[in-house]
Amino acid sequence: MNRRDLLRLVGATAAGAGLLALVPSFLRGKRGNGGDSQDKDGDTLQEEPEKVSQPERSSSSTGARIEARYYRKGKNDSVHCDLCFHRCHVSSGSAGFCRNRINVEGTLRNTVYNMPSAVAVEPTEKEPMHHFLPGTNMLCIGTASCNFRCRFCHNWHLSQRSIEQVRRRRTHTPGDLVRIAKSREVPAVSFTYNEPTVFYEYMYDVAVKAKKDGLRTIMHSNGGIESQPLQDLLAHIDAATIDLKAFSQEFYRNICEARLEPVLETLKAIKENGTWLEIVNLVLPGHNDEPAQIREMCEWIRTELGPDVPLHFSRFFPTYRMTSLSPTPVSTLERCRTIALEEGLHFVSIGNVPGHEANSSFCPGCKARIIHRVQYTVSEINLKDGACTSCGRQIPGIWK
């Protein structure tokens, strides 16, 4: 075969292929577009991502990309986001690190406004939040994505996806959510599941509306928010659970792709503001359980935030990308608790170990059990007007 034969062969093949290629499109044309079967196709591994750079979704009165707050315009349609510690520089058509704020022709927009992907009633204890209306439920609200990339994230299905990848998102205005909370007879709404900072505008508006309608507001955050947006938000937030993931910059950098200092600043700001604060420390064996590090963390909490901030040491179980790390030994958690108590913290509990004595809360004065908890169940509250029924000592928290 010479070169001419080869070219002829390739040409004939391509022509034949072109003709054949028309057949399926012809057949498909006959069949129609096939309805919405794509949406519910089960035997596929598809996660349905959409490209961030697609044109703006329609701005209906409900689901819309509203203009983001806390950003500055830069050169060539770029913007600087000032909402969280990442302080992203976002060029036109791109999204920030959190995936939720995109630059549309020089305007930073929030893509998750009015689009909760999860709305559910859950026990307040699940947050965990121990000194806030014990034994009640709250309406929990989450969207998608996060500004951290924790490899042990329990809620990774939502937090490590963009809102476009969550197809079954709902459309709820702040007013809708407040109505749902009222109809489910819960005393509070909680911004949780994924990091609420990345749906800041939505959280803010829901919080304002909820407060106006007599509901309490809680946020569960990683603390990576900048100080100005935090200050503005705290005016409408009653209580916050903040994850202090480790007292180590290295841990934050290597395991969460984040930084420790902004979290510490957030904790101080919440405390100074007078918003009720509780701290969660998920203990990962071999990563953040060094006694010296725990002691240093507890010392910092006592000196900077005071001894009355409840601290929860939670047991880790394998999840997301850390499925081969062993669960935290219970004795490690107990050692952490002992250190915290030695450092003078008043309310230190152990979480994710149902039935453990330190699941409950104790009076720092007389050591009597003031709230008896087993996992999310509260079976006994020994408080009267916020005071220990045994010794009368006032226990800080929001009790009614």
Partner 1 sequence: MTKIGLRDLPSIATSKSEKGPTDRARNQPAPTSRSKSDRAVLAAILLVGSGGMIGQLLLIRVLMVVFHGNELTLGIVIACWLLFEGAGSYLGGRLASPDRSVFRLFVFLLLLFSLALPAVIVLAHWLGGSHLGLVAGQDMGLGYVVLTAVATIGVTGILHGILYPLSANLLGGNEPASQVSLAYLIEIVGAVAGSLVFVFILATRATALSISLGLLVLHLLIVTWLLLSVADKARPGRAWLTAAVSAMLALVASFFFAGHLQDFSLSRLWPQGRLVENINSPHGNIAVLERDSEHTVLYDGRPIITLPHPDTGSLKDYAWLSALSHPNPADVLVLGGGLGGLVSHLLEHPVENLTYTELDPRLLEVLANLESPTVQAEFTSPRISIVARDGRLYLHRSEARFDLVVIGLVDVQTLQTNRFYTEEFFRMVRDRMRPGGVMAMSLPGSVTYLEGVLAALNACLFQTASLVFEHVMLVPGDKNMILASNEPIKLDSREAARRLEERGLYGGMFSERYLAYRLEPQRIFEFTSIVEETSARPNRDFRPVGFFLGLGYWGSAFAPQALEAVSTLRSIPLPWYGIAFLFLIGVSYFFLFRSRSARANRLTFTISTTGVAAMAFDVFVLLAFQSLFGDIYQLTGLFIAACMLGMFMGGAIALRHTRQAADTLTIASLLFRLDVAIALFLVGFLPLVYLLGAMMGLPFSHFLGATLAAAYAFVTGALAGAQYPLAVALMPEPWKSTAGRMAGRLYTADLLGGFAGGVLITLLLFPILGLAWTLLLLFIVKLATSVLLLLDRRMLQATDA
Per-residue string for binding with partner 1, 2-21, x by CB under 8 A?
---xx--xx-xxx-xxx-xx
* Minimum distance, C-beta of residue 68 to ligand SF4, in the bound complex (Å): 8
Q: Is 258 in the site for partner 1 (CB under 8 A)?
A: no
Given the rule CB under 6 A, which of 79-87, 181-189, 249-257, 307-315 is the region that contacts ligand SF4? Answer: 79-87
Of residues 167-206, those binding ligand SF4 (CB under 6 A)? 198
Q: Which does 14 bind (CB under 5 to 8 A by kind): ligand SF4, partner 1, none?
A: partner 1
Return the residue matching tokens 């100005």: 228
Number of amino acids touching partner 1 (CB under 8 A): 82
Are 174 and 152 a contacting pair, CB within 8 Å?
no
392 lines the binding site for partner 1 (CB under 8 A): no
* Type and span of the H or E element at 340: helix 330-342
> Tokens 């915290």 — which residue?
340
Q: How far apart are CA 370 and CA 359, in angstroms?
A: 11
User: Residue 81 or 270: which CB sits closer to ligand SF4?
Assistant: 81
Among 135, 187, 365, 386, binds partner 1 (CB under 8 A): 135
| Binds ligand SF4 (CB under 6 A): choice among 63, 64, 83, 189 | 83
Residue nearest to ligand SF4 (CB): 96
Cβ neighbours of residue 391 closer than 8 Å, sequence gap 6 or more: 363, 365, 366, 368
| Residue 112 touches partner 1, criterion: CB under 8 A | no
Q: Is 356 in the site for ligand SF4 (CB under 6 A)?
A: no
Task: Write out the binding residues for ligand SF4, residues 117-176 only, by CB under 6 A.
Answer: 147
Q: Residues 242 to 281: which contact ligand SF4 by CB under 6 A?
A: none
CA dihedral 236, 57, 116, 267 (to 10 degrees): -40
Handedness of CA 335, 338, 343, 344 (dihedral sign): positive
By CB under 8 A, is residue 293 in contact with partner 1? no
What's the CA gap between 393 and 388, in Å, rounded?
Answer: 5
The yes or no reply on residue 167 touching partner 1 (CB under 8 A) is: yes
Residues 256, 328: Cα–Cα separation, whole Å: 18
Rounded-to-integer distance, Cα 181 and Cα 214, Å: 11
Residue 29 near partner 1 by CB under 8 A: no
Q: Which is nearer to ligand SF4, 86 or 131 (CB)?
A: 86
Could you tell me which stretch among 84-92, 121-129, 288-296, 375-383 binds ligand SF4 (CB under 6 A)? Answer: 84-92
Amino acid code (one letter) for 60: S
Residue 206: C-alpha distances to residues 114, 186, 296 (Å): 9, 15, 37
Is residue 60 involved in binding partner 1 (CB under 8 A)? no
Contact map string, positions 17 to 56, toward ligand SF4, x by CB under 6 A: ----------------------------------------
Q: Give strand pairing partners of 398.
A: 132
Given candidates 83, 95, 150, 158, which one binds partner 1 under the rule CB under 8 A? 158
Q: Which one of residues 63, 64, 65, 88 is an interface residue with ligand SF4 (CB under 6 A)?
A: 88
The interface with partner 1 within residues 303-322 (CB under 8 A) comprises 317-318, 320-322
Please give the Cα distance from 149 to 143 (Å, whole number): 16
Nearest to partner 1 of 43, 385 (CB atom)? 43
Closest Cα to residue 98, out of 114, 80, 108, 86? 86
Spatial distance between the Cα atoms of 70 and 363, rounded to a whole number of angstroms = 42
Q: How many other CB atoms are there within 10 angstroms of residue 3's CB atom?
A: 7
87 binds ligand SF4 (CB under 6 A): yes
Q: Give the one residue of 326, 367, 368, 380 binding partner 1; rule: CB under 8 A.
A: 326
CA dist 151 and 236 (Å) reads: 31
**Is residue 380 part of the contact set for partner 1 (CB under 8 A)?**
no
**Could you say which of ligand SF4, partner 1, none residue 86 binds, taking C-beta under 5 to 8 angstroms by partner kind?**
ligand SF4
Amino acid letter for position 207: A
- Please give the Cα distance from 28 to 12 (Å, whole number): 25
Token pair recorded at residue 113:
């406004």
Q: Which two structure tokens, joined as six digits, stand for 350? A: 């152990």
Find the binding residues for partner 1 in span 197-226 (CB under 8 A): none
Q: Which residues bind ligand SF4 (CB under 6 A)?
A: 81, 83-84, 86-88, 96-98, 101, 147, 198
